[in-house]
Structure 1
Amino acid sequence: MIFSVLIVSILLLQFAFLWIYIRFFSKNFRKEVHELPMVSILVAARNEQSDLPRLLDSFAELEYPQDKIQFLFVDDNSQDATALILENWCVTRENAKWVKLDAKDLFRKSPSPKANALAFLDEYAIGEYLFFTDADCQVPKSWIEEMWLSFEDQTGIVLGITQVIGVDWLAYFQRMDWWFTLGLVKIASDFGLPTTGLGNNMAIRKDAYEACGGFSAVSDSLTEDLEISRAIQQERYQIRFQLSPGTLVDTKAEADLSSLLSQRKRWMSGAMTLPWFWKAALFLQILYFPALIYILITVPILGIVLAATKMVLQSQFLKRTGLKAGQSLSTVFTLLFDFYFLPLSVLTILYYFWPSATEWKSRRYS
């Protein structure tokens, strides 16, 4: 009983700290603008004909001098109309280029599939800063300038906030999940702790990218953003997280539970390589539930009070994180988040250890 109360109490204190920090002490990065730099935007696309047009439309609306943007795309052997869409968009722009990969190009540059595709763009990138997003995303008009303004001399990577878009209940809970995870990443980066990259909303100083060998040097991994961030931090560069409306990128939700679990299995493979304190924090999140269940069985009133307190603190942390990026999150879904998080965590752990291949972008990886 004492151990269970201790576990729950630690988690309550954690969420109280997270809420207070994100509310009052979260860092907002700004520097004086002298001259805007040349930037390159790099996107790898595979079978993205449905979502790619929205990304390209958002690129067309970027509020940044066109003579200082370079658009680079790589079609990773798509089996749909992705290549045609890229060709039609790039042919009308002098600052856009795309590369077509075939089956023989898989793993030519890197044993990591997405890193391999992006590495084919290295020779063309002329920007002082390299911006990365995914083909199923939409970026805000101020994305480039807002991210660039967060760089200082020792900053190697700047991350932005990403929001999941969808209309059903599964999409809404995925949205809460992303806000929760990225809120933790924001606070960790503010304290200078080692953290992950974010492949759909990330800018890298080119000097830092080249110092670590770029995506060509990424190991065999399905979480190439984590690997590149780790390599850049090993070169003594820092990661910053700019949480603001100007860095808010939209991405689509996973359509069903099967695709969601496949995504989480891929992420789990990266999470297992994180530093010990990240693993401890994740383990504490999971350990909370059996501890709470035990308290509910032995002292129901106490269990209800503790559960309600945690739900409120967690909800306030989520809502305050959203407000920092100009978003008003649903009170209902922030309060009910645990009813999604617990079963998904259990299923993710089971699926991770289940002896099956990981499917990603119509490819299977063992």
Structure 2
Amino acid sequence: MISLVIALLALATLLTIAYGTTRSWPHHDRTPPVTVVVCARDEEATLFDCLMALATQDYPHDHYRLILVDHLSQDATGEIMETFAENAPVPTRVIHISEEDPQLAGKVHALAVGLEHVETELVLLTDGDCIVPDSWIRAMVSYFEEDVVAVAGLVSVGLDGIPEDWIGRLQNVDHRYYLGMLTGLSGLRAPSGRRKRDRIPQPFRSLISRLRPAFCSGNNLGFRMSAYREVGGYRAIGNTFIEDYALLNRIVSRTRKHLAVVPDSAVRVFTTAQPDLRGLWRQKRRWATGTSIFNPLSAYLFIEVGMIRILLPWLVLFQPLPALAALALVAAADTIVIRNVSRLTGHRIYLRDILFHEIYQIALNHMLLLATITHWPVVWKGQKYR
């Protein structure tokens, strides 16, 4: 009975999210001034390709500028930035940070410094290990309608296409899963979905209105600087390893405007995959610190994920058939979410990879629970934080 209740709750949530992925945000071509901020630390292997992609955008070159932040790099990252700035076809400013700020750990320090030099209303963020498409700036800006405060796009793993190794494929499915969830939650609030949502009974409609996304991937993000300054920016947030989550949660909770998560291939960013399980674990451990930021969405999803990924597998020992049937229902709903987003971005995801991802999620959530209980340290760029 318990297995069935959990499965039905999960199924209802995931199917609602899957419906949200079919809704779209309006967008119109526009070319306002915009600034792109790239923070990098020891990214010499990928930085040049990232900067060249930003320099060859189909956006008017006199309507955007780049701010590059070299954060405590020990390699040639700073030199690459300086050389690029000297020859860039768009205005480019390089900022070097040589000392850590004790009040702002990690990347949040670099972002805070870089954003202090932004003079435009719209700002876009990506990372030095990412490649953006030629139309990225134009497409991202096009979604900034009057009622939109921030825009986020999807992220694909693999700079040269979908990875062929198992760990790369696993990460690609994982990105699709999480961003599919965000796309669905965001889509429920899109104008094209609001009229349909009005047909939903009031108690459920009220719940959906509270479950708006307040987090996304910081390497494919844009927001209004007026909203950023209004909440005090990153310096008001303080030390955090999930700076994108913390910032957007703060912005979205204080405005009636929306975060638009758009499954548009024109705004899809490609990033490097973690090369091994150790790197993947450290990344997930860092991201998991986002559960410390409370909002109705994170609380609800945290409880539901705990029941699905942690409690349900153990129920197999006591209620084998109901629990296995429940896990199958959840896997089917996950598949719908992942494939909906993959279809929109033009990437095929194989069923075997999705099924492997289901097993991975169960193992990962057990490990994250243990890490939280034992205060396992967060490792970022070779440094340990507790």
With the length of structure 2 as denominator, give the TM-score of the two structures: 0.85
State which drifts further: 139-148 or 116-125: 116-125
Structure 1 counterpart of 2:53, which letter? Answer: S
Alignment of 1:185-334 (within 5 A): 185-192=182-189, 193-236=212-255, 237-289=257-309, 292-293=312-313, 296-297=316-317, 300-334=320-354
1:135 is matched with 128
Pair 1:309–1:42, CA change in 2 (3 A): same
User: 1:198: how far off?
Assistant: 2.6
Match of 1:174 among 151, 171, 175: 171
Alignment of 1:48-67 (within 5 A): 48-67=43-62
User: 1:159: how far off?
Assistant: 0.8
Pair 1:302–1:364, CA change in 2 (3 A): closer
Determine whether 1:161 maps to 2:154. Answer: yes
Structure 1 counterpart of 2:342, which letter? Answer: G
Determine whether 1:338 maps to 2:358. Answer: yes
Instruction: Kindly report the root-mean-square deviation, in angstroms, between the aligned alpha carbons of the 2 structures.
Output: 2.2
SS in 2 for 1:151: coil
CA distance in 1, matches of 2:217, 2:324: 36
Deviations 1:73-129 (A, max 9, x none): 0101100111111111111125111111112xx227x52432211222234323331
State which drifts further: 43-52 or 85-94: 85-94
SS in 1 for 2:87: coil
State which drifts further: 324-333 or 293-302: 293-302
Query: Does structure 2 retain, via aligned residues, the 8 Å contact 1:77–1:102?
Result: yes
Determine whether 1:100 maps to 2:96. Answer: yes
Structure 1 counterpart of 2:17, which letter? Answer: L
Determine whether 1:357 maps to 2:352. Answer: no
State which drifts further: 298-307 or 235-244: 298-307
SS in 1 for 2:227: helix
Structure 2 counterpart of 1:53, which letter? Answer: F
Pair 1:312–1:238, CA change in 2 (3 A): closer
Pair 1:212–1:324, CA change in 2 (3 A): same
Pair 1:277–1:37, CA change in 2 (3 A): closer
CA distance in 2, matches of 1:247, 1:326: 13
User: 1:50: how far off?
Assistant: 1.2
Pair 1:10–1:72, CA change in 2 (3 A): same
Give the share of equivalent positions with the same residue, in percent.
24
Structure 1 counterpart of 2:47, which letter? Answer: L
Deviations 1:223-246 (A, max 9, x none): 111122123224414211122111
Pair 1:145–1:302, CA change in 2 (3 A): same
Pair 1:117–1:294, CA change in 2 (3 A): closer
CA distance in 2, matches of 1:330, 1:174: 13
CA distance in 1, matches of 2:309, 2:60: 51
Determine whether 1:183 maps to 2:180. Answer: yes
CA distance in 2, matches of 1:144, 1:324: 19
Query: Does structure 1 retain, via aligned residues, the 8 Å contact 2:17–2:337?
Result: yes
CA distance in 1, matches of 2:83, 2:108: 25
2:4 is matched with 5
Structure 2 counterpart of 1:340, which letter? Answer: Y
Pair 1:191–1:18, CA change in 2 (3 A): closer
Determine whether 1:77 maps to 2:72. Answer: yes
User: 1:194: how far off?
Assistant: 4.6
Query: Does structure 1 retain, via aligned residues, the 8 Å contact 2:50–2:128?
Result: yes
State which drifts further: 69-78 or 322-331: 322-331
CA distance in 1, matches of 2:316, 2:373: 30
Structure 2 counterpart of 1:153, which letter? Answer: E
- Provide the aligned length of Structure 1 versus Structure 2: 358
CA distance in 1, matches of 2:115, 2:292: 29
CA distance in 2, matches of 1:245, 1:107: 37
2:193 is matched with none
Unaligned runs of 5+ in 1: none
Query: Does structure 2 retain, via aligned residues, the 8 Å contact 1:164–1:174?
Result: yes
Structure 2 counterpart of 1:142, which letter? Answer: S
Pair 1:83–1:277, CA change in 2 (3 A): closer
Pair 1:3–1:118, CA change in 2 (3 A): same
Pair 1:355–1:321, CA change in 2 (3 A): same
SS in 2 for 1:47: coil
2:37 is matched with 42
SS in 1 for 2:32: coil
Structure 1 counterpart of 2:132, which letter? Answer: V
